[in-house]
Amino acid sequence: MQGCAVSEMAVLIDGKKMAGGILEEVKKEVAKLKGRPCLAVILVGEDPASKIYVTRKSEACREAGIEARDYRLPAETSEKELLELVDRLNKDKGVNGILVQMPMPKHINENLVTGVVSSGKDVDGLAPENIRKLGEGGAEGFAPATPLGVMEMLRRLKVRVKGKRAVVIGRSALVGRPVAAMLRNAGAEVMVCHSKTPDVGAETMKADILVVAVGKPKLVTGDMVKKGVVVIDVGTNRLPDGKLVGDVDFDSVRKKASMITPVPGGVGPMTIALLLKNVVKAYRMQGGK
């Protein structure tokens, strides 16, 4: 199983190692292209986490041979100015992918902005056309990089998805809903849990595959899962003492899981790797060779 480290309990899924392998694959693919794919990343404001993410994305692009254009705009940038920038990038034939970093300042309508990104350049998979294609099971559009990373992780680990019971906790547009759609497209029976679900624990106990993405530290505990479950923890939470933890209580859940992602070092690195794959896909879809 690629990208795993075996513990005395569950198999620990090494997302960093797996992502490194994918980035090497992307680098080799880009080296064979006649042109150079280009990703434009827009960051509005000074959110510390977003600044780190944007820097990491740009560094990964350059390492893989992809051109990275960063547009760092002040927090007071108007919605009109942002929409005008997106429009220019949509029309720029030298730009293959556009990513607007979330979250944006409160005075900007995020849905409006992601809705005007050209579906052919929407490497974040949030444009209406790409959401529709994903729901219909089509492969010609783009899906968000984090759910893609989850599915790629399962594929490389040779986890059987077809016919299995998958439970997704969280229904965000960026992770929960798209990963549920992708699991359904792969043949799983999917249950999506959220704040209105009467008994989340009753649902998670049935899961063969459990994906958690809500941003609540240690929400899922060992008594909520069955023996042998595959656990993918997408959550990233900073505790008061500075420690980074996921949405899963790792120590108790790993005693019952067959495989589990740690936080950090699990899904996070896969997000950037799959984003770069989307950029190369966009380049080819736009006629690049």
- Hey, what amino acid is at 56? R
* Bridge partners (DSSP) listed for residue 231: 210, 260
Q: Torsion angle of alpha carbons 184, 187, 191, 192, nearest 10°?
A: -20
Cα distance between residue 44 and residue 82, in whole Å: 9
Residues, the chain? 289
Q: Are strands 67-73 and 38-44 parallel, antiparallel or unpaired?
A: parallel
Tell me the catalytic residues.
57, 101, 124
Is the Cβ–Cβ distance between 264 and 10 less than 8 Å? no
Is the Cβ–Cβ distance between 125 and 143 less than 8 Å? yes
Is the Cβ–Cβ distance between 180 and 168 less than 8 Å? yes
Tokens of 38: 């280009």
Cα distance between residue 177 and residue 241, in whole Å: 32
Cis previous bond, 269, omega within 30: no
Cβ neighbours, 10 Å, residue 169: 27
Distance of CA 52 to the CA centre of its chain: 16
DSSP 214: S
Is the Cβ–Cβ distance between 127 and 119 less than 8 Å? yes
Cα distance between residue 270 and residue 153, in whole Å: 8
Q: Are strands 67-73 and 259-260 parallel, antiparallel or unpaired?
A: unpaired
